[in-house]
Amino acid sequence: MMKSHTFNYHQLIALFLFTFVISSVQGQTKEFNGDYQIGKLKGNATFSYKLRANDTILDGPFLFNDKGIQSLEESVYQSFSVEGDFSNNQPNGDWTLSFGNYIRDKQPKLVDYSYVINVNGLLKKVKGSFNDGIPKGEFIITIDSIKNSEVAKNLFKSTINFQNGVPQKSFTMESDSHAMVGRLLRNGVAHDKWTLFENENLGEVENWFFKEGILTKISIQKDGIAKEINVFENKDDNYKLYPLNRNYLTVVELTHNSSDTNKIVKNGIGGLLEKNLNTYGKVKGFMNQLGDSVSFPNFQVKLPFYPLDENNAAILKNVVDSIQKAEQLSNALLTNAQLSIQKLSNENTKFHYSVTEVISKDYLSPLSRLKNYSEENIVIHFNPKRLLEKLWPNGLPSGKIEIERENNQSRVYQAKNASNYNPKDVNLQEIEKLTYFTLANLEYLHEKLIGEITSQQREEAFLVQEKELIAQLDHLKKHIDSLKKSKPKEIQTTLESMKGFADNLLNEYSAMDENSEKLDYAKELTNCFSRTEEFATSISKLPVQMKEIKELYQDPVWNPFTATVMNEDIKKKITKAYENILIPYQLKNIQTDLKCSNMDSIEAFFERLNNRMVELFEEDTSRLERKLRKEKNPQEIIELFGLNDNEIEK
């Protein structure tokens, strides 16, 4: 037993010595003083840092400010000053940030034997403290309007108390005309009455009543008249905590979709909250470019949550896709100048045009609203049935469309697929059928109306150009089909989407008036389809490039347990961001947002990305990899990879 004790004693000494040596090596602090750039701001910085595994760890005071005015010739001047402390790469202690954007007066004035040039502009200031990267205590953000070098007006001021990073107690937000006070629970959840005062007469003009995060009602005072609006009141609803962000404000706005709520959410308390969100977003964006990421947690609120099951989610996706197509068709017909003229002289065109108007107004308009809610991902906060009933308060339109004529007779439109849905049932299944009904009829009307534009008017030039256009389109489609073979699924989908892209362009083209612009457009489209072919070829080469990058980021490693050499994936955070985020993001962009005009920039992006991946393999990327650990947003990653700057330079 004695032996064992002796062993432990020695072990302790060894451990102590080891820790001492390591900490003394790591503890060497260095100083930086010189030119420095954060984002677009270029200035002078002084800070202390340590090197850990050759990674910069900011530690100690940090000061970054502009170099002062460089030339009196410049009329725009940006001043800034950032001062605070870091501890172990995390902001710690008091921080002050100020950013001013000024325009100078044209003429200097002589004041006390000196030339003085006044400036006008905006000054934004942030003052607050951090505890190891977590906001602590009072954070004050102000935006002042500067006129003749003096503060003319306080445009915005927000004061929030944080404890352990959670907003606490009461907060205030002020604009030049109003001030608002709100309360929060210890966990940052909105509670009690949030009140908006008018600066001039100090009267309460608006109140939001929260009960443990649930906004139960809003009361407003206007011209001496009080009005109350109940917001979330159904106690059976399944409420979940969400951050108070822009989506929340939209849901509040929609829950009582009246012009009142609309105005309130945009102007009153909602307006101040939105301004605050914007401002904190910018502060966070700036701080995150310095050391480790910081976050300013939003206020927490509760919203009803109605998860969509897989089946309904799929239905909704199809519905949204179809609505989009229907909108394009409706738009193409109703904005067609030629049709507008022709309907004046042709009874048939007039009838079909009127039917299109009815379908667009009565059928498509509520569907478009549903599409928007789905795209903003706020449908989950509404009981699906109630949301649909809100959109179709009188049930679905019957499917029977009658157009009044001048002689008081009416003509009935024989709708396609009219019996396919039940107008009395307002549910997602019926909405899906209604969408297909709307799309099918608009397609029919499109064909009918475009067909009614007399072919005599079509010039020979059109016929020749269109023949070429169609031939080019056919060629493009065949080319894509040949490229698609044995490619990964995502590449296949992207290539396939280019066919849809070309079809959509052709649809757009066919909906155009026949004039010289259209003829030019036909030539443009022919070139665009030819360019799309090249673009498709370059996209089809992506898998090969990705394979090369994958092989580049492999290191042969001798495995002592198998006594064999194996390839190890290295810098996985970078290759994952490349493979799983950036490439799919850009492919998705192609699938949804391809234009004749952006093919060059997308192709250039892929080329830059590929080159950057080769560079990153050689570079020390430990800091980048650490930042990528938390980052999933493709835009942020593009920035972290340094790909945005290139684009600006370009």
Partner 1 sequence: MKLKSKMQKNLKTLNLLIFLICGCFSYMANAQEDPQVLPEESEFKPAITKYWLNTYGNIRISKRMFWVAQTHFRFEETEDTPFVGQLGQIYNRHAIGYIVSKKFDVALGGVVRFNFNTDPDSDGKTMVPEWRIWQQYRFAMPVSRLMFYHRIRIENRWSKGFEEGDDYIYRTRWRYMFRVKIPVNRPKLEPKAFYIGPEAEVIMQSGKEVVDSPLEDLRLHTSFGYILTPRLTVAAGIMYNFGQNLDNGGIYKQGWTIRTHLYFSPDFRKVRNKLPSIHTED
Give min distance, CB of 563 to partner 1, in A.
4
Rounded CA-CA distance 228/240 in Å is 24
563 touches partner 1 (CB under 8 A): yes
Q: Got the DSSP string for 152-198?
A: EEEEEEEEEEEETTEEEEEEEEEESSEEEEEEE-TTSBEEEEEEEEE
- When asked if residue 569 is in the footprint of partner 1 (CB under 8 A), the reply is yes
Binding of partner 1 by 564 (CB under 8 A)? yes
Q: Confirm or reject binding of residue 6 to partner 1 (CB under 8 A).
A: no
Choose the stretch contacting partner 1; rule: CB under 8 A; options: 48-56, 278-286, 513-521, 586-594: 48-56
Q: Give the bridge partners for 81, in sequence order.
A: 65, 98
d(CA 561, CA 19): 30
Please identify which residue in 25, 103, 226, 566 interacts with partner 1, judged by CB under 8 A. 566
Q: How far is the CB of 27 from partner 1 (least distance, A)?
A: 18
Q: Which stretch binds partner 1 (CB under 8 A): 160-168, 361-369, 553-561, 581-589?
A: 553-561
CA–CA distance, 156 with 142 (Å, rounded to integer): 6
The three-class DSSP label of residue 120 is strand
**Which residue of 560, 592, 597, 650 would you call a contact of partner 1, by CB under 8 A?**
560
Among 27, 34, 224, 393, binds partner 1 (CB under 8 A): 34
Using CB under 8 A as the binding rule, whether residue 40 contacts partner 1 is answered as no
Q: Judged by CB under 8 A, does residue 568 bind partner 1?
A: yes
Answer whether 522's CB lies under 8 Å from 466's CB: yes
Q: Where are the alpha helices (DSSP H) in 228-305?
A: 246-255, 259-267, 269-287
Is residue 645 part of the contact set for partner 1 (CB under 8 A)? no
3 touching partner 1, by CB under 8 A: yes
Other beta carbons within 10 angstroms of residue 302's beta carbon come to 21
- Rule CB under 8 A: is residue 620 a binding residue for partner 1? yes
| Rg of the chain in Å (alpha carbons) | 32
Binding of residue 4 to partner 1 (CB under 8 A)? yes
- CB 375 to partner 1: min, Å: 39
Does 614 contact partner 1 by CB under 8 A? no
Q: Does 36 sit near partner 1 (CB under 8 A)?
A: yes
CA distances from residue 136 to 133, 158, 161, 165, 607 in whole angstroms, order as listed = 9, 15, 7, 6, 44
Q: Could you say whether residue 106 binds partner 1 (CB under 8 A)?
A: no
The Cα–Cα gap between 35 and 49 comes to 16
Choosing from 414, 561, 597, 629, the residue that interacts with partner 1 (CB under 8 A) is 561
Nearer to partner 1, 390 or 626 (CB): 626
Enumerate the β-bridge partners of residue 569: 554
Q: Is the CB of 494 or the CB of 621 nearer to partner 1?
A: 621
Cα distance between the two ends of the chain: 74
Residue of the chain from 199, 230, 457, 567 that contacts partner 1 (CB under 8 A): 567
Query: Does 2 engage in binding with partner 1 (CB under 8 A)?
Result: no
Rounded to whole angstroms, what are the CA distances from 591 to 285, 439, 584? 29, 21, 10
Distance, in Å, from the CA atom of 445 to the CA atom of 528, rounded to the nearest integer, reads 28
Residue choice 380, 623, 634, 639 for contact with partner 1 (CB under 8 A): 623
- For partner 1 (CB under 8 A), the number of binding residues is 30
Residues of this chain that bind partner 1 (CB under 8 A): 3-4, 7, 30, 32, 34-36, 53-56, 557-569, 618-620, 622-623
